[in-house]
Amino acid sequence: MRPAARSFLLGELVELLGGELEGDAAQRLTQVAPLESAGPEDISYFANDAYRGEFEATRAGAVVLHPSNTRPGLNCICTANPPLYFIRVLELFHPDPGAVAGTHAQAWVHPEAEVAASAEVGAFASVEQGACVGERARIGPGCRIGRYAEIGEGSSLHANVTVYAHCIVGKRAVLNAGCVIGSDGFGGALDRGRWVKMPHVGRVVLGDDVEVGANTTIDRGAMADTVLGDGVKLDNLIQIGHNVHIGANTSVAACAGIAGSARIGANCVIGGSADISGHLHLADGVQISPSTMIGRSIEIPGRYTGIFPWSEHRTWLRIAAVLRRLGDSGGPGRKRSGRERSGASPERRQEDRDDGHQ
């Protein structure tokens, strides 16, 4: 069963959030829903033409959309940025309940730790010596806050999060279940054929409004700190190595890995399963496509794609086209036509015919 939500008249939403209303201001809305399953009392949004069919068939009571997409007979809220507007709608229908002040009877807080009176500490959580938990912060069940670690005001740690000693979590951060902040990095030296572990004495420092996905791990620095700037968003199952710096408002999708001492600029987007080698630099505004392997620094903003090796995105598309033509050769022993020997694939020859080329 979906959680209970508040209800609003369509006109009330526009009064609260702005936008231009087209349709019945008295339409009551009780829930949010996807276009394909929305009913007469649900509100949805449309922002991607790939869902044009669902939009044309929707039974939603109202849809948030761009003014260019209005439809006769459909209640609409028109706005320049439908996804952002709909986030505000979601926040209205399902407001964050906030921290429930107090420490659970089955939690443990060291006498020398500082926990704000308005903070929440859940069952079986532990807050160790010298740690500081800020106002309205939430420490979920089973969390461990290490010695002298700091949790900023308004931050939310879901169940079983570990923040190691001396690490800092900024204000309004969201750390999802099972993530680990400040475990040792991977490093050492050989001594007569045996590895000797390098002690890691740096910290992890997370800025304000950072989000860390479930089971993501961020290693502490060896001597200096691992640092994530304000507004960084990490998906689930990401590995961030020691001494990495990630600039403000960069987002990283699931299963990516960033090796030690890499420097990632601000406002970058790193796709799922991308692999960033250590000791390199990505400029501000770089976009890395999913599963791309980055083995050297990128100093020019843009989109980059590929695995052997990566290239500027448009270059990679040309490489991929050549690879497809190689695959069309049919393997050894197949006699190719003159057009194929000249490099034109069967698909391209068909396109030529369709376009009227001789």
Neighbour count for residue 87 (Cβ, 10 Å): 12
Q: What is the DSSP string of 13-68?
A: HHHHH--EEES-TT-EE-EE--TTT--TTEEEE---GGGHHHHHH---SEEEE-GG
CB 250 within 8 A of CB 266: yes
Q: Print the SS3 string covering 3-25.
A: CCCCCEEHHHHHHHHCCEEECCC
Q: Enumerate the β-bridge partners of residue 288.
A: 270, 304
Residue 349, φ and ψ in degrees, nearest 5: -60, -40
Separation of alpha carbons 258 and 254, rounded Å: 12
Clarify whether 200 is annotated catalytic: no
Q: Tell me the torsion sign for CA atoms 208, 213, 215, 217.
A: negative
Sheet arrangement for strand 239-240:
108-109, 126-127, 144-145, 162-163, 180-183, 217-219, 239-240, 257-258, 275-276, 293-294
What is each CA distance from 156 to 41, 98, 118, 233, 238, in whole angstroms?
Answer: 32, 9, 13, 14, 19
Separation of alpha carbons 270 and 275, rounded Å: 9
The two tokens of residue 328 are: 């069309």
Residue 204's H or E segment, with its range, is: strand 204-206
3-state DSSP assignment of residue 87: helix
Separation of alpha carbons 18 and 34, rounded Å: 22
Residue 276 is which amino acid? I
CB 135 within 8 A of CB 114: no
Residue 25 is which amino acid? A
Q: Which of 242, 245, 279, 357 is catalytic?
A: 242
Catalytic sites, residue numbers: 242
